Structure 1
Amino acid sequence: MEAMDIYKHYFSKYKLLFITAISCVFFEAICDLLQPTIMAHIIDEGVKNNQLGIVLKMGLLMLMITGVGACFAATRSVLASRVSQSFGADLRYDVFSKIINFSEVSTDKIESGSLITRMTNDISQMTQFTNGMMRIFFKAPITCLGSIILAMMLSFQLSLVLFATVAIVAAFIIVSMKLSYIRFAKVQLAIDKVNTVIQEYLMGIRLVKAFGRYDHEERKFAYENSDLSHKTVSTQKVIAYFSPLMSLTISIGIALILYLGSFLFGWGDIEVGKVAAFINYMAQISTSLIMITNVFNVFVRTKASSERVNEVLNSEEDFKGIKQTIKDGSWELAFENVTFAYPEGSGLPSIKNLSFRINRGESLVIIGPTGSGKSTLVWLFLRFYDVEKGTIYLNGMDIKTIDCKTLRDNIALAPQKSMLFTGTVLENIAWGNPIATREEIINAARAAQADKFIQSMPAQYESHLGQGGVNLSGGQKQRISIARALVKKAPVLILDDCTSALDAVTEAKVRHGLKTLDKEKTIILITQRIGTAMFADKILVLDDGKKVGLGSHEELLHSCETYQGIFHSQIGRDLKVTNNG
């Protein structure tokens, strides 16, 4: 949808309330417009002719109209608040739901700091605009137009001054809008950068401390903060320059009306009450024009925010396949002539014409130098990205024909970087399977060699973890991450170098525990360790995205130069290690 179509989409939910609020605004404006005309009658018919009855009658009518207008004003304020807050809540929910379903391509395009700004600052701006639109934004043009029409009816000669004044102010508004729009868009981008700097610092706070990079981080924040300040000042300068010019133009117009009105009164072409009413209408017009100026300034900023939010809503979601059930078969995984390059990357393929096959119950280790494409295979299997050439099969089915949720429900992942959430240990492990029993959670923890250290914690499985598991060591976080993957009980388990913080003995126990819960589980391990690879049923060796070896440990020691190099660098040229060793 287009940026401003967002409002049409959401307002359809609150059509009745919206129409009622706008109706209240219209009748409130009518009540305001009637008062100068009534005042003219009081002066010209009551005061001039010394008719107290007319003064009292018209004064009472004026009070009644003011009271009715106040009732309309109160009603539209309540409705405006209700509709705008509901609009903001619905929009935030939909944007968050969209972000949850982001494809990796969308995630790569929009930084997390920018997403936070769009979820908070931009949507708040849109919510305020919605509230203002129903409270005052519609009232200003109605009051302005109505005042012009009623002023013309009082005196056509004085209306010529009014037309000239309105035309000049309208020109100022148009120029102000054009200058403001670009600046407001830059302000929002500057807010993105400030949020990104803060977020990066908070995520890497320990690294900053370890390297003593406080000064660098302060300078980086100072630069972005100063840039935001300068862009905001630049935007405010436009308003600061044009607002006084418009006020001056309106004041000159009122002075000219007073000057010309005195001549017309002397010539008998207009009465005092009508001149007073005309000045009141001119005051209403001036107030409305200033309000319209503010409306356009807010509109320009809101338009920039709407386009940014709309970019999120129109972003690419996870790939949708045909929603068919994966049949419980051999759970065979196969890559056939797969080639892939990251969409936002260098354009060079990370995987090149790769083919291999793994059967149910087998364990496959993927090993190779840094940057050889090991983790990329995992992202392709999980359909975070789609392959450019070739096909990936699961149980003989092209994974492009399987809905992402269905596919991922059958895969458990322990990622390279252990990510834990605020909550208890039990909640973090159960995150992999919310309906898992306590016994199943404990069994998964035991298999992952996490039960022992969990039992030593003060509240054991009810112990509270800070954000990201900051109160745990790297090895402890990895073991909880593995337990979370195991408790999912998916037929395919992927361990993406998630034992790097474990010692050799603990890793061997984890490796043994993987088969204790389900001996038919298909296991894919990504590792840099020969000691881990040598115990797998199959080892896939990658180098620069290409398959340079596939087989058992013994086979690769004799046939794969890359594997031999890794083995010799870790174990030694003179030490012979076999699968039994």
Structure 2
Amino acid sequence: MGIYKHYFHKYKWLFITAVSCVFFEAICDLLQPTIMAHIIDEGVKNSQVGTVLKLGLLMLTITAVGACFAATRSVLASKVSQSFGADLRYDVFTRIINFSEISADKIESGSLITRMTNDISQITQFINGMMRIFFKAPVTCLGSIILAVVLSLQLSSILFLVIALVAIFIVISMRLSYIRFAKVQYAIDKVNTVVQEYLMGIRLVKAFGRYKDEEEKFDRTNSDLANKTVSSQMVIAYFSPLMSLTINFGIALILYVGSIFFGRGDIEVGKVAAFINYMAQILASLIMITNVFNTFVRTKASTERVNEVLNSEEDFKGSEQTPGQGLGELAFEDVTFAYPSGSGIPIIKNLSFKIKQGESLAIIGPTGSGKSTLVWLCLHFYDLEKGTIYLNGMDIKTIDCNALRDQIALAPQKSMLFTGTILDNIAWGNPQASKEEIIKAARVAQADDFIQLMPSQYESNLGQGGVNLSGGQKQRLSIARALVKQAPLLILDDCTSALDAVTEAKVRRGLRTMDADKTVIMITQRIGTAMFADKILVLDNGVKVGFGSHQELLESCNTYKGIFDSQIGGDMKGVAYGTGN
């Protein structure tokens, strides 16, 4: 419950004021049955109209004061709970932004959405209810018990028996509810995940005609959620009527025993009526307490899930050092890496290589050889199992992650665009870039031609994920976004796969003319792209099997020669083409 302590200090005085209003409101409610008893026993019984009017006016005044306290605590409860929820959502989102890749891999995006919405809403409702009901119910219940005992010690034995039975029911209900409500939250996660996966792959589902499978998958998760929700509600369905029956049985027993005492002259009618009113207040308070405990059970599960996000591992901070400005020298030294949540088998094994500032490096190899993994390691998304990566002569572990990533521009394998204009999407790589710089980057990325044909050109709006663009257009915008960042190290992670050979060659020539000192790493499956790089790294199953120029690898690396032969052919014309520009 650490998050409650953290935010309590921020809203301490509002919270204390609201609780004070709740306390005085409860006192006003507790005074009314006692005043009513005096009205009956002193005014009605003795036909004293003045006493009835005086005490009646007092009761109305106390009721009005109680209503003022109730209105004040409701306003404060709403303000505090909604502010608490807004702050908590902001902090959770901030933590998600700073997630390490290990944390991002551990908690699914669908589950994160549920925790940001459903779970935090549950916590907000609990805070609101706690300030409005939770403090009032115990005060009213305890005050009613004390005043009932003062009225009649003999009838109080029935009261204590009823309270003991209801307390037992509450404890059993809580123990049964907690596990069930926790399962409900995880079932909501699964529903969100299924819907999210469908929306992300909607075109693929349509292309393969897998509507029925998606419907069945959703039906299973939806039915599972419904069943778990029914199971959790059944606990309340059984115990709430049982508690009401017990308390109402206690009221009936008090009426019976009270009538016997009244017949013997041991108690007055007003006191019996007041005792029944206190019993009714105790009934209402116990029902409120039961509801609060049921809400608490749900909130406890939600709090643990939110705390899991808040306590997740953050991105690597390093020692706030910067890797030097305008440089792009990169070196791997005996690097071995396996994904923490994977099989444990290393993806990269004992890898060493070095590229200097201004050089271009192509990384090529069979699918699954660890090419893209190198990108995530360069950006320090994961810690190494063994070895060191140096940027400008500095171990990247010692560099602040934000400073490190400022030196690297990435065009990822899967182009990701955002809702907004084309200009906004390119400028996303560098918000301070001028429009001239954005247009220049678009021209180098060969995106300016198709942008100029659009109705609003650079102000044209893109749908979510760039759904109104082709795959090649998305890739060219992604490359332009990386270029406009003007980082000394540019990484192109197979981001030209949707481009034809002519367009790719234009992009490649544009990169050379844009900045001669820029270090470029190209991850590619195409030998026609790799052969123009200054150095080529050949990977096979995470192991370096070749490193050098195109001609050197043709002579010394069988894996590279095999890729070359399969894509271009082994004739001298192909080799000559490999040495061209």
TM range (shorter): over 0.9
SS state of the match for residue 99, structure 2? coil
Q: Number of aligned pairs?
A: 578
Aligned to 1:154: 151
Deviations 1:66-95 (A, max 9, x none): 000000000000000100010010000000
Q: How does 1:361-372 map to 2 (within 5 A)?
A: 361-372=358-369
CA distance in 1, matches of 2:391, 2:525: 26
Q: In the alignment, does 2:14 pair up with 1:17?
A: yes
Shift of 1:328: 3.5
Shift of 1:330: 4.9
Percent of paired sites with the same residue: 81
Aligned to 1:449: 446
SS state of the match for residue 549, structure 1? strand
Shift of 1:574: 3.3
Aligned to 2:165: 168
SS state of the match for residue 370, structure 1? coil
CA distance in 2, matches of 1:543, 1:242: 64
Q: Does the 8 A contact of 2:326 with 2:488 survive in 1?
A: no
Q: In the alignment, does 2:533 pair up with 1:536?
A: yes
Q: How does 1:512-523 map to 2 (within 5 A)?
A: 512-523=509-520
Q: Does the 8 A contact of 2:422 with 2:462 survive in 1?
A: yes
Aligned to 2:465: 468
SS state of the match for residue 346, structure 2? coil
CA distance in 2, matches of 1:328, 1:303: 48
Q: How does 1:278-357 map to 2 (within 5 A)?
A: 278-328=275-325, 330-357=327-354
CA distance in 1, matches of 2:566, 2:322: 45
Deviations 1:324-356 (A, max 9, x none): 222247531100000110000000000101000
Most deviating of 258-267 and 430-439: 258-267
Q: Does the 8 A contact of 2:174 with 2:293 survive in 1?
A: yes
Q: In the alignment, does 2:244 pair up with 1:247?
A: yes
Structure 2 counterpart of 1:420, which letter? L
Q: In the alignment, does 2:480 pair up with 1:483?
A: yes
Aligned to 1:94: 91
Q: Does the 8 A contact of 2:427 with 2:484 survive in 1?
A: yes
Q: Which of the residues 156, 176, 191 maps onto 1:194?
A: 191
CA distance in 1, matches of 2:402, 2:208: 41
Q: Does the 8 A contact of 1:330 with 1:359 survive in 2?
A: no
Unmatched 5+ stretches in structure 2:
none
Aligned to 2:579: 580
SS state of the match for residue 298, structure 2? helix
CA distance in 2, matches of 1:329, 1:189: 48
CA distance in 1, matches of 2:58, 2:379: 73
Q: In the alignment, does 2:67 pair up with 1:70?
A: yes
Q: Does the 8 A contact of 2:531 with 2:579 survive in 1?
A: no
SS state of the match for residue 339, structure 1? strand
Q: In the alignment, does 2:460 pair up with 1:459?
A: no
CA distance in 1, matches of 2:140, 2:426: 62
Q: Does the 8 A contact of 1:329 with 1:395 survive in 2?
A: no
Structure 1 counterpart of 2:233, which letter? Q
Aligned to 1:402: 399
Change (3 A) 1:176 1:571: same
Aligned to 2:103: 106
Aligned to 2:489: 492
CA distance in 2, matches of 1:45, 1:165: 30
CA distance in 2, matches of 1:8, 1:330: 46
Aligned to 1:386: 383
Aligned to 2:180: 183
Aligned to 2:523: 526
CA distance in 2, matches of 1:561, 1:327: 38
Q: In the alignment, does 2:36 pair up with 1:50?
A: no
Change (3 A) 1:153 1:33: same
Q: Does the 8 A contact of 2:327 with 2:488 survive in 1?
A: no
CA distance in 2, matches of 1:175, 1:103: 41
Aligned to 1:80: 77
SS state of the match for residue 363, structure 2? strand
CA distance in 1, matches of 2:33, 2:308: 47
Shift of 1:570: 0.8
Q: In the alignment, does 2:437 pair up with 1:434?
A: no
Aligned to 1:373: 370
Shift of 1:137: 1.5
Q: In the alignment, does 2:210 pair up with 1:213?
A: yes
Shift of 1:51: 1.4
Q: In the alignment, does 2:225 pair up with 1:228?
A: yes
Q: Does the 8 A contact of 2:325 with 2:407 survive in 1?
A: no
SS state of the match for residue 353, structure 1? strand
